[in-house]
Copies of this chain bind each other. A is one copy, B any other.
Amino acid sequence: MTRWLAVAILPALAWGAEPPAKPLSLADLLQASAPTEWRDLDPQGTLYMDLPAGRVVIELAPDYAPANVEAIRRLVRDKYFDGSFVIRSQDNYVVQWARPDSDERAKAMAKVKVKAEFERPMDRKLEFTRLAYPDTYAPEVGFSQGFAVARDAKRGQAWLVHCYGSVGVGRDNDADSGNGSELYAVIGQSPRSLDRNITLVGRIVRGIELMSVIPRGPGPMGFYEKPSDYVPIKSVRLAADVPDADRVRLEALRTDSATFRAVVETRANRREEWFKDPVGRVGVCNVPLPVRIKGS
């Protein structure tokens, strides 16, 4: 086996200094985690998007895009997305949802601008678990508050990166032309060239498999050409506004926990019998970010 570079993360292994004789699976690691290593999703920062096929849960990232998250919260509270549609499904790229252009509320929103939040200043108070492998696109990548992020210390900036399941704010040519009324989710190879070019607001933490199988649109960029192809969105709600009985009690593994660092380590160094070369590295969009039903 060969490891090409000397860099390696040195995680505080959940099991202590000695690696285990038998490789631990992701399930083993989560099983052995402490309850304090998990955090409840914030009901004020969690969206339920109900499709005919089931529920998609989105965690918002207010520390990375406060103005856009606030704009989306307002739209959701105004039931803006009830009666919206998936209007675009482009293979190996994104699905996108909005009210149709002809809709009166969509016409009113077309004039609204919300400031671009492509990146934010680095801040020591903002958790950052660095991934010490080279990345094609950014000088530093890692995890923060449950999200894949990148940083550039020289410029003093940090930003969410586009991975599978990332949710962002569609925009036209002007940087501030997005306003949260048209959103997209990544359903293919991480389109990292969008990083720092568009505002990301969070990620799908549950139910992405309901979005990723939506038939691709036949038009340019995967847009549907006939409204009859649109996939209806029944409603989008903030978890906080949903009666207790209808909530999904989700908890996310803290990305600053020892167990998460062990997850990264086992994903970088594949000790399972199946692997003939243990790899020795992992990409920022290839690390699982565990979310589970609370207490499961």
- The interface of chain A, by Cβ under 8 A from chain B, is 2, 4, 91-92, 116, 118, 133-139, 152, 154-155, 163-165, 173, 175, 188-193, 196-197, 208-209, 212-216, 267, 270, 273-277, 279, 281-283, 285-286
Known: A92-B164, A92-B212, A164-B189. 14 other contacts (CB 8 A): A2-B152, A2-B154, A91-B208, A92-B165, A92-B208, A118-B276, A118-B277, A136-B136, A136-B282, A188-B188, A188-B212, A192-B283, A193-B270, A213-B214
Query: Chain A binding site: helix, strand, loop or mixed by DSSP?
Result: loop
Chain B residue numbers with a CB within 8 Å of A193 are 267, 270, 275, 279, 282, 286
Chain B residue numbers with a CB within 8 Å of A134 are 134-136
B212 near A91: Cβ-Cβ < 8 Å: yes
B137, B139, B196, B274: the one contacting A283 at CB < 8 Å is B137
Chain B residue numbers with a CB within 8 Å of A137 are 279, 281, 283
- 8 closest Cβ contacts across the A-B interface? A91-B209, A134-B134, A209-B216, A136-B283, A193-B279, A164-B189, A213-B213, A92-B164
B139 near A136: Cβ-Cβ < 8 Å: no
Q: How far is the CA of A4 from the CA of B116 in the complex (A)?
A: 22
Chain B residue numbers with a CB within 8 Å of A216 are 209, 212-213
**Nearest opposing residue in chain B for A215, CB measure:** B213
Known: A2-B155, A189-B163, A283-B192. A276 touches B136 (CB 8 A): no
Q: How far is the CA of A283 from the CA of B189 in the complex (A)?
A: 10
A-B pairs with beta carbons under 8 Å apart, 15 shown: A2-B155, A91-B208, A91-B212, A92-B165, A118-B276, A118-B277, A136-B281, A164-B188, A188-B189, A189-B285, A193-B267, A193-B279, A193-B282, A197-B279, A213-B214
B164 near A276: Cβ-Cβ < 8 Å: no
Shortest C-beta distance, A226 to chain B (Å), equals 17
Chain B residue numbers with a CB within 8 Å of A208 are 91-92
Known: A133-B136, A134-B134. A286 touches B2 (CB 8 A): no
Known: A164-B92, A192-B283. A138 touches B213 (CB 8 A): no
